Amino acid sequence: MDINNSIAAAGKKLTFSEVVEYNEKYYFNLFARAPICFERGEGTVLYGMDGKRYLDFLGGLAVNALGHNNPAITGAIKSQAEKFIHCTNLYYIEPQARLAKTLVDISCADRVFICNSGAEANEAAIKLAKIFHYKAGRHAKNKIVTATDSFHGRTLAMVAATGQVKYQKPYAPLLPGFSHVPLNDVGALRSAVSEEETCAIMLEVIQGESGVNIAEPAFIEAAAELCEKTGALLIFDEVQTGLGRTGKLFGYQHYGVEPDIFTLAKALGAGFPIGAMLAKERVAAAFEPGDHGSTFGGNPLACEVGNASLGLILGEKLHERAAEKGAMLMGALRAAAGDSADGIVSEVRGRGLMIAAQFKKPVAVEVKGRMQDAGCLVGSVGDSIMRMLPPLTVSDDEIKEAAVIFGAAVKAL
């Protein structure tokens, strides 16, 4: 194509059917997309190019914790962009220093490293765990234990960490050293961990991607005890559970257990890409100049958005709000499901605003589709789990509306 035509075409807004056509033709075929293209959002609501209104109870997969077009986030982006947006980590970065202090003040960690995504934060966590033992001369302590059905991201190391064969098979040989035990199987965990070889145990306290599977206190306590006994490090992947989603600021606070290392991402930028790896000083001290790094990670723009997002979560106590609204939403979903003719919903489970409905039959995709048609976006996991991750700012009326739409979708089966 002629370059001048290309330049002119690149600036011209597409129609919905052109978006679909271009996507099919030019974009990698990696996503099973719903036939919707959004144009803008406001709080919990998204509007399609055709003007149709949707309640966003998927929340960008737990990313849009503060809703869409939140003035605090938009304001932080604008004001920082007008100063400067990038600065190499070879210089001090004021918004980064401020973000690090706040994260340390509110958590069990002593130090912070900022990166660009959840997978990157988990990579940093594994590298830190390895170098911690390496620098102490424990070179054989390089094995990581994670859970079956976990999800830790899409990089090659995180594919090995993730306990799901479907994400691993095509990418063999995987990075060695990862083994998996079923969530809540204390016996299997005990057999998998050894003093000679285990570098770390890495867990989600609630598995999100595989359908809101909650770790039992006994399992988390056993992991902490094993780490204490063998010198392995306890890593929590709080990419999804972190910063209020579960009704507490951090998922580990439900258990009275403090990890040596934990990671954050999704809610931290409220939609802007940012990740964080945090650790206790004893462990964090293993990282010295040159051991790890990032070109974009910790840039002034991302950090200023992180500061704004944290400011709002802490200022408005959105974690407490998530606990309250989550209880309300789960109650409303149970009531709506209870009315369904054959009781097809076997369970509504979750913590805070991280919620799943389990069906007795493979109807999740159909329920999701019906709810979408009725103007409410939710997720499905496999064929029999529906997932809801609304913004922590969701209103009572929006909760009631979503529950009515869910009830109607279930009844229409």
Ligand X SMILES: *Cc1c(COP(=O)(O)O)cnc(C)c1O
Interface with ligand X (CB under 6 A): 117-119, 122, 151-153, 204, 208-209, 237, 239-240, 265
The answer to whether 395 touches 47, Cβ cutoff 8 Å, is no
Closest CA to 139 of 131, 147, 128: 131
Q: What is the DSSP string of 21-36?
A: HHHHHHS-S-----S-
Q: Which helix (H) or strand (E) holds 379?
A: strand 379-381
CB of 150 to ligand X, least distance (A): 8
Q: What is the DSSP string of 296-329?
A: STT-HHHHHHHHHHHHHHHHTTHHHHHHHHHHHH
Give the pair of three-digit tokens for residue 384: 């029999």
CB of 27 to ligand X, least distance (A): 18
CB of 136 to ligand X, least distance (A): 28
CB of 157 to ligand X, least distance (A): 12
| Residue, CB closest to ligand X | 118
**CA 173 from centroid of its chain's CA atoms:** 27
41 or 118: CB nearest ligand X: 118
The answer to whether 353 touches 329, Cβ cutoff 8 Å, is yes
CB of 262 to ligand X, least distance (A): 11
208 or 407: CB nearest ligand X: 208
153 or 390: CB nearest ligand X: 153
CB of 29 to ligand X, least distance (A): 19
204 or 304: CB nearest ligand X: 204
Give the pair of three-digit tokens for residue 72: 């605090």
182 or 231: CB nearest ligand X: 182
Give the span between the Cα atoms of 158 and 330, in whole angstroms.
32
As beta bridge partners, residue 345 has 359
241 or 372: CB nearest ligand X: 241
